[in-house]
Amino acid sequence: MYLDKIIEAKKLEVEALKKNIVVSDLQTYDVYQRVCYSLKRSLQSSKTGIISEFKRKSPSKGFIKEGAEVADIVPGYEKSGATGISVLADEQFFAGGAKDVRVARELVNIPLLFKEFVIDEIQIHLAKSSGADVVLLIAACLTKERMLELATCAKKLGLETLLEIHSEEELEYIDPIIDIVGINNRNLKTFEVDLAASIALCHKIPDSYVKISESGLSDPETVKMLRNEGFSGFLMGENFMKQADPAAGLKDFISKL
């Protein structure tokens, strides 16, 4: 399974990070001191809720846009109407990195999601020092207790948290400390997309939580339907990144909403 392989690699990566990075050094970065943008508030006020993603590669499909540069795509996402931007911070499996988040932060003035398999506080400090506003916490990668510890760390740093779930069993992870709940339409173990299961999950989450739909989205009519079912945001990467001009693809998509 991809997820198990990724987490085993991430454990080794975190060990290396702890040897090479000192949190007190990260705290000296100017960007570490900035007040973060709120993706939660942005989604609540957005008419489209599109979170466009910068993503070169996926473990299941290989390269989507090999050699893509943040500077060539991310500013266009903002100009085309993205509510927020997700940037892959994993290098081994997604050909991304914290450096991409840092570059994006210098170029846009909307919320940035640090899209990573977070299992340790050092990654949250790295997210903060890269200029991110939101960190992803994936229920399938963490115990509930560990998730709460990481969410508490993020909150202390002024970062918002996006909790990702994909099964009914993971509903128990939802806690008031979480800012946004994302439902992954793609099962992380089988990689199959099931919108009906996501909608059923959405209806079991209190409306007090901002909810976003993730993965497998490519049709404006699907996004309209999901909005009517209670979703406020839609995380989309591959659909735009596989186009010759991702920003133009986003602009066209939004025009159809």
The residues carrying an active-site annotation are: 53, 55, 115, 164, 184, 214-215
Query: Would you list the DSSP string of 64-92?
Result: SSTT--HHHHHHHHHHTT-SEEEEE--ST
Residue 93, classed as helix, strand or coil, is coil
Q: Please state, in angstroms and rounded to a whole number, the distance separating the CA atoms of residues 158 and 139.
A: 21
Structure tokens at 220: 């404006």
- H-assigned helices in the chain: 2-20, 23-26, 39-45, 70-79, 98-107, 121-130, 144-156, 195-202, 220-228, 238-241, 246-255
Q: Please state, in angstroms and rounded to a whole number, the distance separating the CA atoms of residues 168 and 194.
A: 13
Residue 35, classed as helix, strand or coil, is coil
